[in-house]
Amino acid sequence: MIWLRKTRLILLMLRGMLICATVFPWAGVAMRERLIRNWSRKLLKLCGVEVEVQGLAPGQAAPRGAMMVANHISWLDIYVIHSWHPARFVAKSEIRSWPVVGWLCEKTGTIFIERGRKRDAHRVLHHITEVMRDGDLVCVFPEGTTTDGTEVLPFHANLMQAPVSGGLPVQPVGLRYLDAATGEPTAAPAYIGDLSLLDSLDMILRSPPIKARLTLGPQLMAQSASRRELAESAREVVVHLAQGTPEAAIAVADRLHQPALALAPVTAAMN
């Protein structure tokens, strides 16, 4: 029954707050990641969402010290990614003031940015570069808003300056939500328009079981590319991953890296 599942979700939320208040202050990185991953998996299970991860070879570790970019469909996206590998998300500063959710986001390492303030953008870019160099995985949704999953909007390039300046990789990820029984796309998790968080939760709980497919593509390096070129290539890769055409995503990555590869023999010959 939906009311019972909602009750369990409230209890899980309260448990998450208790853990953040009592355990996180002294817990190490590994323990924090384990707690976030387990909590996220429980949340998704209560919502009837199963996660399928594609694009990693057996035994291959999750990337670290990189910027993850993904298409944005639902508030569930955060927990789908956390259930696979906890990341530090970049979010608008308004979320910090949201009851309960904002506090939990802050305690789990979310990096908040005040949009429209250039000085704050510079601060955030510097901070993102620092934490990635320390080995953190930072996740951004460059579309800047959610969609129903049928398209991927143009990527904003501003935050791409962090991996460009730091010489760090970008890890594209494609997200899709499918009916677990039929494999067909479902719009039940889409958090769009004037839909409230509670209305969105109702839609998810009333829908048939959902499969969230998270597909990792090839990592991208800026090399000689500008942040705009990097953003455009990352979007192309994410589009192909979300559409289920990983071979095309690899071709995009190869094209981005080609200029640097072509320069290598010339540089070697000059030396």
Give kind and range of the element (H or E) at residue 3. Answer: helix 2-22
C-alpha distance from residue 114 to each of 52, 74, 96, 108, 122 (Å): 33, 21, 11, 19, 11
Per-residue pLDDT of the chain (271 residues; tens, 9 = 90+): 788 999 999 999 999 999 999 999 999 999 999 999 999 999 999 999 999 999 976 667 778 899 999 999 999 999 999 999 999 999 888 888 777 778 888 888 999 988 767 777 888 899 999 999 999 999 999 999 999 999 999 999 999 999 999 999 999 999 999 999 999 999 999 999 889 888 999 999 999 999 999 999 999 987 767 899 999 999 999 999 999 999 999 999 999 888 554 444 444 444 4
Residues ≥6 apart with Cβ < 8 Å to 106: 96, 112
Interior/surface letters 255-267, b for 16+ CB within 10 angstroms, e for the rest: ebbeeeeeeeeee
- Separation CA 253–CA 22 (nearest Å): 44
3-state secondary structure of 62: coil
Residue entry with tokens 């387990």: 38
pLDDT at 260: 52
Q: How far apart are CA 53 and CA 246, in angstroms?
A: 13
Domains of the chain (ranges; CATH) run 2-270 (3.40.1130)
Nearest by Cα to 234 from 213, 255, 262, 214: 255
State whether the Cα torsion 151-154-156-160 is positive or negative: positive
